[in-house]
């Protein structure tokens, strides 16, 4: 039995689990339970206390702007991955139902096939019996023909 399991971490809080069992491939995309702590607005509106010899406000703002851009991209990717995950789960559900339906049909056909085989075996037994009877009849016909010939010969000699 061939079994292979691969685990890949995707963007953010998602991971992809690929299980290969003989010829079946099972793909699971799962979202880890992760609650984001910050929103774009919280990052953008965060106020810092000004201290002596603090950081340059422009540098902090520029850096936070970069973080916000990355954060927006990640949020969009997460939303897209959620949609893909929903679609994949819907497909998986449909394929599982289809697989079950096909397995049920296959089981029904197997039962019908077995009945046909069983009936054919009975027919074969019947054909064998008929063949044996015919063989015996042929033997008796030959004996009757010989007796008939002997009878005719005896009658012709007696005249």
pLDDT (mean) for 80-107 = 89
The pLDDT of residue 15 is above 70: no
To the nearest whole percent, how much of the chain has pLDDT over 90? 6
Query: Per-residue confidence at 153, pLDDT binned at 50, 70, 90?
Result: confident
Are 13 and 74 found together in one domain? no
- Secondary structure class of 24 (helix, strand, coil): strand
Query: Per-residue confidence at 22, pLDDT binned at 50, 70, 90?
Result: low
- pTM for the whole structure: 0.44
Are 138 and 74 found together in one domain? yes
How many CB atoms are located within 10 Å of the residue 14 CB?
19
The pLDDT of residue 156 is above 70: yes
Are 7 and 24 found together in one domain? yes
pLDDT value, residue 101: 93
Give Cβ neighbours of residue 21 (< 8 Å, ≥ 6 apart): 1, 2, 3
Give Cβ neighbours of residue 26 (< 8 Å, ≥ 6 apart): 18, 19, 20
pLDDT value, residue 3: 46
Q: Is 44 in contact with 52 (CB distance < 8 Å)?
A: no
pLDDT value, residue 24: 59
pLDDT value, residue 105: 93
Are 85 and 112 found together in one domain? yes
Give the pLDDT confidence of 32-75 residue by residue, as tens digits: 555 566 777 887 787 777 777 777 778 888 888 888 888 888 88
Are 108 and 69 found together in one domain? yes
The pLDDT of residue 17 is above 70: no
Torsion of CA 92, 93, 95, 98, to 10 degrees: 170
Are 82 and 133 found together in one domain? yes
Name 25's bridge partners. 20
pLDDT value, residue 1: 43
Residue 23: domain span:
1-35
User: Count of domains in the chain?
Assistant: 2
Are 74 and 12 found together in one domain? no
């Amino acid at each position: 039995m061939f079994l292979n399991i691969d685990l890949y971490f995707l963007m953010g809080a998602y991971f992809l689990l690929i299980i290969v069992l003989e010829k079946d491939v099972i793909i699971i995309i799962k979202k880890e339970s992760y609650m984001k702590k910050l929103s774009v607005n919280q990052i953008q509106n965060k106020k810092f206390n000004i201290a002596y010899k603090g950081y340059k406000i422009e540098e902090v703002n520029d850096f936070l702007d970069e973080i916000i851009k990355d954060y927006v991209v990640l949020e969009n990717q997460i939303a897209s991955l959620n949609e893909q995950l929903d679609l994949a789960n819907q497909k998986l559900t449909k394929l599982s139902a289809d697989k079950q339906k096909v397995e049920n049909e296959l089981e029904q056909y197997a039962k019908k096939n077995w009945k046909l085989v069983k009936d054919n075996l009975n027919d074969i037994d019947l054909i064998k019996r008929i063949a044996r009877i015919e063989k015996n009849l042929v033997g008796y016909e030959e004996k009757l023909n010989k007796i008939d010939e002997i009878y005719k010969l005896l009658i012709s000699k007696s005249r």
